[in-house]
């Protein structure tokens, strides 16, 4: 039982007393385990420094250096900092853990004090570290680094890694590795060691390695970065020997830093591009569906160029800002009708290609929306790299005619060139007329959305369109960036706002893992900070409570962000689903709040924010109070600080 | 909200308040109690997907008010729902409760036109 009690305390408390144990214990006469053991009176204490079992046997550990220097002037951690800096990495987000203390110390005393700066960001959960990196990458277009303690830290991080994997986002991750078992001094060092630590998340990391030397670390770091940044983007992981981080560099001469080459994304084969252009040019009703297509602002510009060349309607998923929301060819509101009438459907990086054209009837039958004889083409980098266990590759679409395994954004230039080359003058008038029609239907859709927004406009709890428009009124003349998804807000921003810059919207979680938005918005806001943008987010109460410590990180790191809580006081999706099941069983729904409701007591999010140093207002349930509250909060954000507003809102 | 892929067009009511209600085999729209219907609608159920004024919840639940469909159509949707809306049998929602809810939906006034709401005319 005493051992069990110790188990629960072994991690964070360990830092208080033993953060440097790896250094100190080995630097002193740690060559005998017996010397580190306490006397009998200490047995059963909760101090994780206490060896779990007492034994009479004294083991001479021959592998431990006897004459280790008490001080030294070079270390592997500094070299690792230089390698990360050479890759352009600006931040290292982490909750501390003693298997990467050597690197931690190098970052704060070397990386943060010399140029170019590599800044340590303090998080309160490894899931937050990875999600911050996830959000950052979607704005900045490159990875942030994050560190995870071996075993327990990586276990915490795993869901966030899965989100990044599903969302095709690069993250550069490092976890410690206690490889030399004879230099583990305490029971906790054994609990926090793994023979193959990366195995746990290998199914949803793009690549991992455990480099055996500093020189190999340099190679592996460059390789990890390269793989992360080659479409399909994804998270990569290095398990780095704790002692390699901590120990002096042999001969005090660091290995050379390998050079990262310019990375070129894989474009589609020339013949397939030519055939696709021909089909698009000849089509009467071509439709473009864009999902994770625009990796960068250039992707958005290219998609506009393609759509305008064809005057073809674009359906933009909510996973990126692929296409301007108020562009006349943005026909997202008409997805179903367009696909059912399409004679050619071009899908760019579809996350769920099956669902794009599938329709499920009330009796459960699934059929394709597309008409007979129509052509369906996909361009997807995910076809180039996929794994087996987790099923994020989605159901196989049965009616695809041409599947190009390539990066869509990288393929767009040649496709645009082919379309323009093949477009006969005789088609230009008809194509222009098509554009005119779509401009009209776009305006109709906008008016329909405005009409729909009027219902419940003055209600309390506050309606989603009211919340979104009160926010938009205050930010529309700023250089704003919406750093949260919109699914849970019924996509009202896409329906009512105007956005034409890639950074103005970053999409959803990827793997639909909740707990993403609060930290991801923070990472995105950090990326926006240096560009002087106003970052805003609307996030559910349930998501924030997975890791409210991100509010402290926001205050501590002084990250300006307007954080609006969409407070529907529950895990709303689950309430709806539970209602459906209870109805089917005819048991009534009076108990479905159990396990789904976040009430009794209601959480005071403004007070929660203030307790962590974040400006907080609310709860606000009168829609008339919302505009003034947003204005006050924006003043705070403009001073470089985070601000939170708790808005008691409708479910959706 | 963990299973974000779940898209549900749901209409639901608070069954807890219903068992005490007399079951009426033949209830028409005009017989409903709007006040009680609002209580049923808001207490725990319908508004989750359709909003407190039946304004709709995007893809999760269509608009119900103002100007709801006919009572017969609403009752048909409750008893034999199309799409992904769950079924509401008379055991869970007696006709009297359905009529009260319908009366509430009919009582919801027409919304102000979008043209008269400045926030809905932002450029």
The domain over range B15-121 is classified in CATH as 1.10.760.10: yes
pLDDT value for A45: 42
Cα separation, A463 vs A519, in Å, equals 25
How much is the mean pLDDT over chain B?
Answer: 75
| Strands of the A119-122 sheet, one edge to the other | A119-122, A91-94, A145-148, A171-177, A235-241, A207-209
Average pLDDT for A42-46: 42
Chain B residues with CB under 8 Å of A457 CB are 111-112, 117
- Over the stretch A384-424, which tens digit does the pLDDT of each residue have? 998 999 999 999 987 899 999 999 999 999 999 999 999 99
A98-102, A130-134, A586-590, range with the lowest pLDDT: A586-590
Nearest to B59 by CA among B69, B49, B74, B68: B49
Residue of B nearest to A590 (CA): B16
What are chain A's domains?
76-251 (3.40.50.970), 270-437 (3.40.50.1220), 455-648 (3.40.50.970)
Spatial contact of A228 and A234, defined as CB atoms under 8 Å apart: yes
Cα separation, A329 vs A331, in Å, equals 6
Lookup: tokens for B66: 């103002």
**pLDDT higher than 70, residue A591:** yes
- From the list B15, B57, B59, which residue is nearest A590 (CB)? B15
- From the list A463, A488, A583, which residue is nearest B88 (CB)? A583
Spatial contact of A650 and B52, defined as CB atoms under 8 Å apart: yes
pLDDT value for A360: 77
Average pLDDT for A482-503: 96
Distance (Å) from the alpha carbon of A514 to chain B's nearest alpha carbon: 5
Q: Which residue has the tokens 């206690």?
A: A178
CB B48 to CB A575 under 8 A? yes
Which pLDDT band holds residue A523 (cuts at 50, 70, 90)?
Answer: very high
pLDDT value for A60: 53
Residue of B nearest to A596 (CA): B1
Cα separation, A24 vs A30, in Å, equals 9
**pLDDT higher than 80, residue A636:** yes
Residue of A nearest to B109 (CA): A455
pLDDT value for B28: 54
Assess A650–B contact: CB distance below 8 Å, yes or no: yes
pLDDT value for A285: 97
pLDDT value for A112: 98
- Over the stretch A251-296, which tens digit does the pLDDT of each residue have? 889 999 999 999 999 999 999 999 999 999 999 999 999 999 999 9
pLDDT value for A14: 42
Cα separation, A325 vs A500, in Å, equals 7
CB B120 to CB A470 under 8 A? no
ipTM of the modeled complex: 0.83
pLDDT value for A463: 95
**pLDDT higher than 90, residue A602:** yes
Spatial contact of A382 and A360, defined as CB atoms under 8 Å apart: no
Domain residue extents for chain B: 15-121
- From the list A453, A590, A652, which residue is nearest B60 (CB)? A652
pLDDT value for A474: 98
- Over the stretch A301-341, which tens digit does the pLDDT of each residue have? 999 999 999 999 999 999 999 999 999 999 999 999 999 99
Other beta carbons less than 10 A from residue A363's beta carbon? 5
- Over the stretch B28-62, which tens digit does the pLDDT of each residue have? 556 789 999 998 887 657 888 888 889 888 777 88
| Strands of the A375-380 sheet, one edge to the other | A314-316, A286-290, A344-348, A375-380, A402-405
How much is the mean pLDDT over chain A?
Answer: 90
- Over the stretch A446-489, which tens digit does the pLDDT of each residue have? 999 999 999 999 999 999 999 999 999 999 999 999 999 999 99
- From the list A454, A498, A577, which residue is nearest B114 (CB)? A454
pLDDT value for B92: 84
Average pLDDT for A426-443: 96
Nearest to A553 by CA among A605, A612, A507, A472: A612
Chain A residues with CB under 8 Å of B44 CB are 589-590, 592-593
Distance (Å) from the alpha carbon of B30 to chain A's nearest alpha carbon: 23
pLDDT value for A9: 37
**pLDDT higher than 70, residue A218:** yes
CB B86 to CB A574 under 8 A? no
A131-140, A542-551, B51-60, B107-116, range with the lowest pLDDT: B51-60
CB B61 to CB A451 under 8 A? no
Which pLDDT band holds residue B86 (cuts at 50, 70, 90)?
Answer: confident
Spatial contact of A523 and A144, defined as CB atoms under 8 Å apart: yes
Other beta carbons less than 10 A from residue A203's beta carbon? 15
Nearest to A214 by CA among A79, A342, A89, A14: A79
**pLDDT higher than 70, residue A134:** yes
Which pLDDT band holds residue A68 (cuts at 50, 70, 90)?
Answer: low
Which pLDDT band holds residue A651 (cuts at 50, 70, 90)?
Answer: confident
- From the list B17, B82, B86, which residue is nearest A583 (CB)? B86
Which pLDDT band holds residue A215 (cuts at 50, 70, 90)?
Answer: very high
pLDDT value for A90: 98
pLDDT value for B44: 55
CB B49 to CB A652 under 8 A? yes
CB A589 to CB B82 under 8 A? no
């Amino acid at each position: 039982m005493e051992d069990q009690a110790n188990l629960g305390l072994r991690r964070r408390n360990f830092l208080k007393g033993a953060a440097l144990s790896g250094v100190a214990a080995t630097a002193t006469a740690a060559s005998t385990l017996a010397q580190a053991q306490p006397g009998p009176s200490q047995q059963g204490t909760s101090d994780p420094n206490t060896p779990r079992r007492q034994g009479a046997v004294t083991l001479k550990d021959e592998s431990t250096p006897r004459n280790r220097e008490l001080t030294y002037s070079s270390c592997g951690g500094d070299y690792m900092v230089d390698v990360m800096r050479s890759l352009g990495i600006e931040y290292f987000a982490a909750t501390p853990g003693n298997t990467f203390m050597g690197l931690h110390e190098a970052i704060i005393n070397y990386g943060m004090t010399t140029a170019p700066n590599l800044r340590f960001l303090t998080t309160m959960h490894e899931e937050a570290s990875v999600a911050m990196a996830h959000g950052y990458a979607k704005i900045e277009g490159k990875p942030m680094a994050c560190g995870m303690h071996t075993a327990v830290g990586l276990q915490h991080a795993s869901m966030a890694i899965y989100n990044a994997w599903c969302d095709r986002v690069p993250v550069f991750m490092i976890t410690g590795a206690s490889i030399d078992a004879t230099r583990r001094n305490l029971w906790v060092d054994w609990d926090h060691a793994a023979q193959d630590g990366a195995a746990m998340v290998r199914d949803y990391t793009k690549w991992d390695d455990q480099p055996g030397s500093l020189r190999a670390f340099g190679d592996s770091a460059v390789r990890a970065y390269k793989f992360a940044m080659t479409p399909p983007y994804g998270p990569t992981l290095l398990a780095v020997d704790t002692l390699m981080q901590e120990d002096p560099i042999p001969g005090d001469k660091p290995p050379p830093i390998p050079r990262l080459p310019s990375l070129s994304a894989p474009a589609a084969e020339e013949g397939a591009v030519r055939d696709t252009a021909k089909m698009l040019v000849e089509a009467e009703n071509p439709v473009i569906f864009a999902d994770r297509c625009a990796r960068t602002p250039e992707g958005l510009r290219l998609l506009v160029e393609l759509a305008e060349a064809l005057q073809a309607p674009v359906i933009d998923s909510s996973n990126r800002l692929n296409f301007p929301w108020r562009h006349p060819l943005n026909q997202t509101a008409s997805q179903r009708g367009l696909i059912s009438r399409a004679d050619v459907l071009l899908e760019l990086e579809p996350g769920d290609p099956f669902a794009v054209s599938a329709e499920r009837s009330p009796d459960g039958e699934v059929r394709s929306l597309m008409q007979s004889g129509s052509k369906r083409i996909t361009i997807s980098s995910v076809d180039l790299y996929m794994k087996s266990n987790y099923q994020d590759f989605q159901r196989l679409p049965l009616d695809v005619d041409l599947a190009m395994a390539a990066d869509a954004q990288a393929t767009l230039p040649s496709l645009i060139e082919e379309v323009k080359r093949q477009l006969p003058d005789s088609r230009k008038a008809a194509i222009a007329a098509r554009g005119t029609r779509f401009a009209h239907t776009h305006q109709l859709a906008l008016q329909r959305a405005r009409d729909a927004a009027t219902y419940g406009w003055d209600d309390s709890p506050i309606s989603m369109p009211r919340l979104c428009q009160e926010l938009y009124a205050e930010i529309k003349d700023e250089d704003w960036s919406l750093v949260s998804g919109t699914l849970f807000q019924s996509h009202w921003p896409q329906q009512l706002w105007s956005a034409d810059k890639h950074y103005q919207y970053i999409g959803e979680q990827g793997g639909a893992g909740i707990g993403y938005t609060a930290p991801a918005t923070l990472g995105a806001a950090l990326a926006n900070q240096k560009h002087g943008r106003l970052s805003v987010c609307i996030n559910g109460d349930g998501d924030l409570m997975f890791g409210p410590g991100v509010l402290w990180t926001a205050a501590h790191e002084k990250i300006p962000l307007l954080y609006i809580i969409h407070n529907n006081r529950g895990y709303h999706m689950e309430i709806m689903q539970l209602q459906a099941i209870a109805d089917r069983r005819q048991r009534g729904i009076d108990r479905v709040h159990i396990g789904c409701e976040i009430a009794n007591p209601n959480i005071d999010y403004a007070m929660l924010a203030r307790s962590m140093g974040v400006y907080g207002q609310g709860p606000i349930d009168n829609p008339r109070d919302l505009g003034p509250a947003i204005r006050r909060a924006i003043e705070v954000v403009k001073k470089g600080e985070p601000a939170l507003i708790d808005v008691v809102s409708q479910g959706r | 909200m963990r299973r974000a892929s779940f898209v549900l067009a749901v209409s639901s009511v608070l069954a807890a308040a219903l068992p005490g209600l007399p079951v009426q085999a033949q209830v028409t729209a005009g017989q409903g109690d709007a006040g009680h219907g609002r209580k049923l609608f808001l207490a725990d159920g319908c508004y989750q997907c359709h909003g407190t004024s039946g304004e709709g919840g995007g893809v999760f639940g269509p608009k119900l008010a103002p100007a709801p469909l006919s009572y017969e159509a609403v009752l048909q949707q409750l008893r034999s729902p199309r799409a992904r809306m769950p079924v509401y049998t008379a055991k869970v929602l007696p006709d009297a409760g359905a009529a009260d809810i319908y009366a509430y939906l009919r009582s919801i006034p027409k919304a102000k036109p979008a043209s008269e709401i400045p926030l809905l005319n932002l450029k």
